[in-house]
């Protein structure tokens, strides 16, 4: 039996209303988010092992989404087991019921293998959008800092800010990661790109901290909020730098996305120290 097309708006991204598996449905119910049966509709090379992957599911037309949240995708891993890996939503197109992900293919884990091999027409099980960090309306200026795995989340959050807010974006990226436009309504400083040291070379975050020191940031957090994402030691170093410069802990939303010394756990989170 073939899937019935359910693209109610008649867009070109015809998607099908498959039901996610019972395993995915149970995982989604535990997290209190939608279960998704995704179709890959487009894959675009973005340089330095980064690919933009567009996925579709009719449920994305209405699923609650805060920019900054991700889709958590089930992927095959060694030994026949299944793991989940999280990829932030760069943009959600409600009319087409699609989400764009910017996924990095570094290393040789289940996520990297998927990113390297993904093709239009592939099917995936996922849950989301999910995640606890998004741009707070309580701040008037916002600082986004991280590595290229934070590109999708930080740009989506910056674009969600209202006019009158200020957003500064500083990201450490590989040398040939393609330019990504950030269409913020808020006053945008940057996005500043800092070319990454090879992983393991030098202290984590040194180049980013150097870039922050050269920016004319207001002293302390004041009515600002900082959002940090990327490699675990990088995020820890950035957070320590901010605290050392008078930032209140409550004004910092930090999230480790991956670890340079260890694979993420099967449920997608990096291990804590």
Kindly list the residues in this chain that would bind ligand FAD in the complex (CB under 6 A): 70, 85-88, 102-104, 106-107, 109-112, 131, 149, 152, 199, 255, 257-260, 263-264, 268-269
Asked whether 36 and 128 are in contact (CB, 8 A), the reply is yes
Nearest approach in angstroms of CB 87 to ligand FAD is: 5
Asked whether 168 and 144 are in contact (CB, 8 A), the reply is yes
Cβ burial, residue 111 (10 Å; 0-12/13-18/19+): buried
Q: Which is nearer to ligand FAD, 70 or 180 (CB)?
A: 70
Sign of CA dihedral 233, 27, 80, 123: negative
Q: Which is nearer to ligand FAD, 89 or 97 (CB)?
A: 89
Nearest approach in angstroms of CB 102 to ligand FAD is: 5
For helices 206-214 and 232-244, give the axis angle rounded to 10 degrees: 30
Q: Which is nearer to ligand FAD, 90 or 142 (CB)?
A: 90
Q: Which is nearer to ligand FAD, 206 or 263 (CB)?
A: 263
Nearest approach in angstroms of CB 86 to ligand FAD is: 4
Nearest approach in angstroms of CB 10 to ligand FAD is: 30
Cβ burial, residue 269 (10 Å; 0-12/13-18/19+): middle
Q: How far apart are CA 143 and CA 70, in angstroms?
A: 20
Asked whether 237 and 265 are in contact (CB, 8 A), the reply is no
Of 185, 143, 138, residue with least CA distance to 164: 185
Q: Which is nearer to ligand FAD, 91 or 142 (CB)?
A: 91
Nearest approach in angstroms of CB 252 to ligand FAD is: 16
Nearest approach in angstroms of CB 163 to ligand FAD is: 26
In the complex, residue closest to ligand FAD by CB: 107
Q: Which is nearer to ligand FAD, 14 or 77 (CB)?
A: 77
Instruction: Give me the torsion for CA of 190, 99, 259, 247, rounded to 10°.
Output: 40
Q: Which is nearer to ligand FAD, 140 or 260 (CB)?
A: 260
Nearest approach in angstroms of CB 7 to ligand FAD is: 26
The set of residues, in sequence order, having a beta carbon less than 8 Å from that of 165 and lying 6+ positions away, is 139, 140, 141, 142, 186, 187
- List, as one string, the DSSP characters of 72-89: EEEEE-GGG-EEEEEEEE
Asked whether 43 and 118 are in contact (CB, 8 A), the reply is yes
């Amino acid at each position: 039996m073939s899937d019935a097309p359910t693209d109610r708006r008649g867009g070109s991204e015809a998607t099908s209303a498959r039901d996610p598996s019972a395993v995915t449905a149970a995982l989604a119910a535990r997290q209190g988010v939608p279960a998704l049966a995704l179709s890959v509709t487009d894959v675009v090379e973005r340089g330095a092992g980064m690919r933009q992957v567009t996925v579709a599911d009719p449920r994305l037309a209405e699923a609650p989404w805060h920019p900054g949240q991700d889709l958590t995708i089930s992927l095959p891993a060694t030994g026949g087991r299944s793991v989940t890996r999280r990829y932030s939503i760069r943009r959600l197109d409600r009319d087409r019921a699609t989400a764009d992900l910017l996924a990095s293919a570094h290393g040789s884990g289940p996520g990297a293998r998927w990113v390297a091999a993904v093709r239009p027409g592939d099917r995936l099980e996922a849950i989301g959008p999910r995640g606890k960090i998004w741009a707070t309306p309580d701040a008037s200026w916002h600082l986004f800092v991280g590595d290229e795995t934070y590109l999708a989340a930080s740009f989506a959050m910056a674009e969600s800010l209202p006019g009158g807010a200020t957003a500064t974006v500083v990201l450490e990226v590989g040398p040939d990661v393609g330019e990504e436009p950030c269409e913020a309504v808020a006053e945008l400083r940057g996005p500043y790109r800092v070319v990454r040291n090879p992983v393991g070379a030098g202290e984590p975050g040194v180049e980013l901290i150097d870039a922050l020191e050269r920016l004319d940031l207001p002293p302390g957090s004041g009515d600002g909020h900082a959002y940090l994402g990327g490699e675990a030691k990088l995020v820890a170093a950035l957070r320590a730098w901010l605290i050392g410069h008078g930032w209140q802990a409550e004004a910092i939303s930090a999230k480790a996305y991956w670890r340079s010394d260890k694979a993420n756990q099967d449920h997608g989170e990096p291990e804590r120290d």
